């Protein structure tokens, strides 16, 4: 039931009710949720209030509307092809989804041995570290830490705001860096407490840990990325041809 004395608006409380239903499994993927009229009767609020809650959840990708049929639970993971080298921003733009990032770290540091090895540079070389929570429709889907050789991207951090800019677009347009290919490794594991906090998961929930080394021409590494993707939000697809 809604708490009419709470300072939390009623439509927010309805959103929480629906989200709780999704997380607890009471509402299953592609199941229809009660109609606006039923929800407004159930909670004793106007249809306008229910409509606002539903609109927000549709915008954030939790629900989808089928005209004439109702509103349904959307739980389709992002289904990504692995044939081409793309960026997070490009992938989501293709799907018409709204993205943003929370920048957790943006600084220049000396490369550790591990990072230096992946980037094929001597240890202690300066690298730009960019750690972001990547969001779709305002919800976190991945945590990404990119390391880029600093001498290739002078002043990048002072000139760009990566909470809404694309790293690959900046590399291409401002630094004339053409990415040619990447090597990616996938590993399934459990989310740590910190990862779970940023990804709105429980510690121990499944995630995909992905590392990527991205190259420019002549097989020169430019970027090394450590990512953690929500296991329930991603599906990767590859075409395998028999030799
Ligand atoms: C993908 C890749 C990352 C890359 C990022 C760049 O998410 N897995 O390795 O760093 O795209 O994204 P953007 O250009 O949107 O900042």
> Which residues lie closer than 8 Å to 149 by C-beta, 6 or more apart?
119, 121, 125, 126, 127, 128, 221, 222
Q: Is the CB of 212 under 6 A from ligand 1?
A: yes
pLDDT at 171: 98
pLDDT of residue 96: 66
Helices 36-43 and 47-59, axial angle in degrees (round to 10): 120
Q: Which of 144, 119, 113, 116 is nearest to 130 (CA)?
A: 144
Tens of pLDDT, residue by residue over 72-111, are 888 677 888 888 999 999 988 877 677 899 999 999 999 9
pLDDT digit string, tens, across residues 8-26: 899 999 999 998 888 777 8
Binding site membership of 101 for ligand 1 (Cβ less than 6 Å):
no
Mutate which of 140, 168, 174, 185 for ligand 1 pocket (most atoms within 8 A of beta carbon): 168
DSSP code of residue 233? T
Residue in this structure with the two tokens 């349904």, named with its chain if needed: 72
- For ligand 1, atom 11, name the residue with the nearest CA: 87
pLDDT on residue 30: 81
């Amino acid at each position: 039931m809604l708490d009419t004395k709470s300072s939390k608006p009623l439509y927010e409380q309805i959103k929480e009710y629906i989200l709780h239903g999704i997380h607890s499994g009471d509402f299953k993927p592609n199941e229809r949720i009660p109609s606006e009229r039923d929800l407004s009767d159930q909670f004793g609020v106007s249809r306008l209030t229910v409509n606002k809650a539903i609109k927000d959840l549709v915008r954030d990708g939790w629900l989808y509307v089928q005209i004439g049929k109702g509103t349904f639970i959307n739980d389709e993971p992002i289904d990504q092809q692995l044939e081409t080298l793309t960026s997070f921003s490009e992938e989501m733009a293709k799907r018409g989804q709204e993205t943003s990032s929370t920048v957790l770290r943006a600084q220049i540091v000396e490369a550790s041995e591990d990072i230096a090895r992946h980037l094929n540079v001597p240890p202690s070389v300066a690298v730009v570290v960019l750690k972001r929570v990547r969001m779709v429709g305002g919800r976190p889907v991945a945590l990404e830490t990119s390391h880029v050789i600093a001498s290739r991207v002078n002043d990048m951090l002072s000139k760009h705001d990566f909470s809404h800019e694309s790293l690959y677009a900046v590399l291409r347009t401002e630094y004339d860096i053409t990415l040619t290919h990447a090597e990616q490794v996938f590993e399934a594991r459990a989310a740590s407490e910190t990862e779970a906090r940023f990804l709105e998961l429980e510690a121990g929930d499944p995630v995909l840990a992905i590392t990527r080394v991205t190259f420019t021409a002549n097989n020169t590494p430019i970027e090394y990325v450590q990512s953690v993707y929500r296991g329930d939000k991603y599906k990767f697809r590859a075409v395998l041809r028999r030799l």
